[in-house]
Chains A and B, each alone.
Chain A
Amino acid sequence: MFRWLQNFPHFLEVVYNLFEVGLSPLKRWFNPGGKAEPLVIAAEKLGKGAVFNCKMCGQCILHSTGMTCPMTCPKHLRNGPCGGVRQNGKCEVKPDMNCVWVEAYERSLKMPKYGRQFASLQPPMNNQLEGSSSWINMFHGIDIKLPQGWSSTRDIPVKFVKEDHYGNK
């Protein structure tokens, strides 16, 4: 319904930024297992579902993936496109669907603030968080808790060939 908004990644980036600030005053209601939790989950599902086809993985990385939900990739990849993308940019699994990662890459190029995070190394999913609210998890640092053996690799810098893609040199 509001999927067309995804074609304006820069706008979504700004909204994302405002959201992070805007939600802070509500922080005290955002508790895991709190009374408001079902409400928060419903709101997140409704809002992010309409725009991003959000799958409620509970560990949102939209801003690192060109404001394109990586969980809509049939292989649930979090670190970029697989080698099965068709030459016309369609998905290996669903020939009628655009590859999520091709879209994510193109959109990330239009995001001056978070676009570069497309290159960061994303840790394995915490499958326990499926169905929970990523907003609550974010406020409580639950989504960034990593397995001990992973250590903090979320932002290993990967050099870009074409720096100017992102408006910087």
Chain B
Amino acid sequence: MVINNNSPCSKLEEILRAGHFAVTAELNPPDSADSEDVYKAAEILANVCDGINAVDASGANCHISSVAMCALLTRAGYEPVYQVTCRDRNRIAIQGDMLGAAAMGVLNVLCLTGDDVTAGDQPEAKRVFDFDSIQLLRTARTMRDEATFLSGRKITSPPCFFLGAAANPFVPPYDWRPQRLAKKIAAGAQFIQTQYCFDLPRFKEYMTQVRDLGLDKQAFILAGVGPLKSAGAAEFMRTKVPGVVIPDQYVDRLKKTPKEKQQEEGKKICIELIEQIREIDGIAGIHIMAYRQEELVAEIVEQAGLMPRPTSNNQNKEQE
């Protein structure tokens, strides 16, 4: 698959371009000023995935900032995916942060609109949304390819970014969702991480439309998955977390399982889903979101048959 002719910016990009089935995982930011807490959380993910997503105030809740977390991760040699949302910062702050992140070695950027402030623990906050995700993508691409800010002012040393976007095929308007993806790709998205894929029939239909548009050849699509901790957690996620759709069959399956075995069952469902998703044409990898169950990610990757993870050429050279 050829996305563009430039040499890859990041290890994640290199792995995807080499045709490996990629694995990324979400790192939930600690509420702590101790860098050790970030490293502890990253350690369990680092060897089982090709990129660690540093979440930007997930669900509009205040945590350690994603840019700081990325800086810590690059210092330790990890491969972060810097998540940027438009909710909290205007275009001046966002462009400055992206440049700063690049200076600290961040190479993967995921451009998001972001959950609304009302989803979080401080709903009284002022929402910004100076950009939307598509304008953010396009601006990041301009910074990289034209070496200018949005204003046109020159950047002396432009960032090298592998640019990503999110997609949610599971909410209306369903017909429009593949075209929204097309729009994001037109704006600069090179990889896509989707919302949790539980509703597989819907996802397959979406992917058919995506393939019809040839979009799977223009960007690497990573399907979002994650273990459900319990029947209660699943119910919470599908009612309270914006954009998450979980069909009854999975919630019922968890409800029928004794309480102490529900987490194990949730993991089993996740592995089954990964196996089915791998069969779908045009899927380049998976993105694991194991909120507060990060310790399960290694088992999931292992049991889904996705180990060992590939190494990039640069790493091989270093080892030689």
Q: Which residues on A are within 8 Å of B, measured CB to CB?
A: 74-87, 89, 92-93, 99, 101-102, 105-106, 119, 121-125, 127, 147-150, 153, 156, 158-162, 165
B167 on the A face (CB < 8 A)? yes
- Chain B residues near A123: list those with CB within 8 A: 135
Residues 63-112 (chain B) with a chain A CB within 8 angstroms: 91
Query: Chain B residue with minimal CB distance to A74?
Result: B116
B119 on the A face (CB < 8 A)? yes
Cβ-defined contact, B130 with A125, below 8 A:
yes
- In the bound complex, how far is the Cα of B245 from the Cα of A95, in angstroms? 16
Q: Which residues on B are within 8 Å of A, measured CB to CB?
A: 91, 113, 115-116, 118-119, 127, 129-135, 138-139, 142, 146, 148-153, 166-168, 170-173, 175-176, 178-180, 182-183, 186-187, 195, 209, 212-213, 242-243, 245
Cβ-defined contact, A161 with B151, below 8 A:
no
- Chain B residues near A78: list those with CB within 8 A: 132, 135
Given contacts A83-B113, A83-B167, A84-B243, contact A159 B182 (CB under 8 A): yes
User: Besides A80-B176, A85-B168, 12 other CB < 8 A contacts?
Assistant: A79-B183, A80-B183, A85-B173, A92-B116, A92-B243, A102-B172, A105-B173, A121-B134, A127-B130, A148-B148, A150-B142, A156-B186
- Chain A residues near B132: list those with CB within 8 A: 75-79, 82
Cβ-defined contact, A84 with B115, below 8 A:
yes
Cβ-defined contact, A82 with B113, below 8 A:
yes
- Which of these, A87, A124, A153, contacts B172 with CB under 8 Å? A87
- Chain B residues near A93: list those with CB within 8 A: 116, 118
Name the distance in Å between A161's Cβ and chain B's nearest Cβ. Answer: 5
- Chain A residues near B151: list those with CB within 8 A: 147-149
- Chain B residues near A77: list those with CB within 8 A: 113, 129, 132
16 A–B contacts, CB within 8 A, in A order: A76-B129, A78-B132, A79-B133, A83-B167, A84-B171, A87-B172, A93-B118, A101-B173, A105-B173, A124-B139, A125-B130, A149-B149, A149-B153, A156-B186, A158-B183, A160-B179
Cβ-defined contact, B116 with A119, below 8 A:
no
- In the bound complex, how far is the Cα of B81 from the Cα of A82, in angstroms? 21
Given contacts A148-B152, A160-B179, A161-B209, contact A83 B168 (CB under 8 A): yes
- Which of these, B138, B171, B209, contacts A150 with CB under 8 Å? B138
Given contacts A84-B243, A148-B152, contact A75 B127 (CB under 8 A): yes
Cβ-defined contact, A161 with B171, below 8 A:
no
Name the distance in Å between B54's Cβ and chain A's nearest Cβ. Answer: 19
- Chain A residues near B179: list those with CB within 8 A: 119, 158-161
- Chain B residues near A149: list those with CB within 8 A: 139, 142, 146, 148-153
Query: Chain B residue with minimal CB distance to A89?
Result: B172
Query: Chain A residue with minimal CB distance to B123?
Result: A93
Cβ-defined contact, A161 with B212, below 8 A:
yes
- In the bound complex, how far is the Cα of B182 from the Cα of A81, in angstroms? 14
Cβ-defined contact, B175 with A87, below 8 A:
no
Given contacts A147-B151, A149-B149, A161-B178, contact A84 B116 (CB under 8 A): yes
- Chain A residues near B175: list those with CB within 8 A: 105, 161-162, 165
Query: Chain A residue with minimal CB distance to B209?
Result: A161
- Chain A residues near B178: list those with CB within 8 A: 161
Query: Chain B residue with minimal CB distance to A156?
Result: B186
Cβ-defined contact, A159 with B127, below 8 A:
no
- In the bound complex, how far is the Cα of B172 from the Cα of A86, in angstroms? 7
- In the bound complex, how far is the Cα of B168 from the Cα of A75, in angstroms? 17
Cβ-defined contact, A83 with B213, below 8 A:
no
Name the distance in Å between B53's Cβ and chain A's nearest Cβ. Answer: 15
- Which of these, A74, A86, A99, A106, contacts B127 with CB under 8 Å? A74
Name the distance in Å between B85's Cβ and chain A's nearest Cβ. Answer: 11
Cβ-defined contact, B134 with A79, below 8 A:
yes
Name the distance in Å between A76's Cβ and chain B's nearest Cβ. Answer: 5
- Chain B residues near A159: list those with CB within 8 A: 179, 182, 213
Name the distance in Å between B152's Cβ and chain A's nearest Cβ. Answer: 3
- Which of these, A82, A89, A119, contacts B183 with CB under 8 Å? A119
